[in-house]
Chain A
Amino acid sequence: MKAHLTRRYMFSASHRLHSDRMSAEENRATYGKCNNPYGHGHNYMVEVTVSGPVHNHTGMVCNLVDLDGFVHTHILQRYDHQNLNLLSEFAREVPTTENLSIAIYEIVKRGFHKAHLEKIRIEETMMNSFEYTGEGR
Chain B
Amino acid sequence: MIYLTRKAEFSASHFYHNPEFTPEENQRVFGRCNNPNGHGHNYTLEVTVKGAVDPKSGFVVDLKQLKDVMSREVLDALDHRFLNKEVPEFFAMIPTTENLAIAIWQRLAPKLNAALLHRVRVYETPDLFVDFYGEA
Q: Do A and B bind each other?
A: yes
Contact between B130 and A3 (Cβ–Cβ < 8 Å)?
yes
Contact between B16 and A8 (Cβ–Cβ < 8 Å)?
no
How far is A99 from B85 in the complex, measured between Cα atoms in Å?
47
Is the C-beta of A137 less than 8 angstroms from some C-beta in chain B? Answer: no
Is the C-beta of B71 less than 8 angstroms from some C-beta in chain A? Answer: no
Q: Give residues 55-112 of A contacting B (CB, 8 Å).
A: 57-61, 63-65
Number of interface residues of A (CB under 8 A): 19
Q: Known contacts A1-B136, A3-B101, A3-B102; decide if A57 and B18 are in contact (CB<8 Å).
A: yes
Q: Which residues of A contact B94 (CB under 8 A)?
A: 58-59
Contact between B136 and A58 (Cβ–Cβ < 8 Å)?
no
How far is A5 from B100 in the complex, measured between Cα atoms in Å?
12
How far is A61 from B18 in the complex, measured between Cα atoms in Å?
15
Is the C-beta of A21 less than 8 angstroms from some C-beta in chain B? Answer: no
Q: Which residues of B contact A133 (CB under 8 A)?
A: none
Q: Which residue of B lies closest to A7 (CB)?
A: B128
Q: Which residues of A contact B16 (CB under 8 A)?
A: 58-59
How far is A130 from B29 in the complex, measured between Cα atoms in Å?
33
Contact between B128 and A6 (Cβ–Cβ < 8 Å)?
yes
Contact between A3 and B128 (Cβ–Cβ < 8 Å)?
no
Scan A43-64; emit 1 where CB is below 8 A from any B CB, else 0: 0000001000010011111011
Q: Which residues of B contact A54 (CB under 8 A)?
A: 96, 98-99, 102
Q: Which residues of B contact A6 (CB under 8 A)?
A: 128-131
Q: Which residue of A lies closest to B127 (CB)?
A: A8
How far is A1 from B89 in the complex, measured between Cα atoms in Å?
15
Q: Known contacts A58-B18, A59-B16; decide if A3 and B31 are in contact (CB<8 Å).
A: no
User: B132's contact among A4, A7, A57, A65, by CB below 8 Å, is which?
Assistant: A4
Q: Known contacts A2-B135, A2-B136; decide if A59 and B127 are in contact (CB<8 Å).
A: no
A–B complex contacts, Cβ < 8 Å, 8 sampled: A1-B132, A1-B135, A3-B98, A5-B98, A57-B18, A58-B16, A59-B93, A59-B98
Residues on A lying within 8 angstroms of B by beta carbon are 1-9, 49, 54, 57-61, 63-65
Residues on B lying within 8 angstroms of A by beta carbon are 16, 18, 20-21, 29-31, 93-99, 101-102, 126-133, 135-136
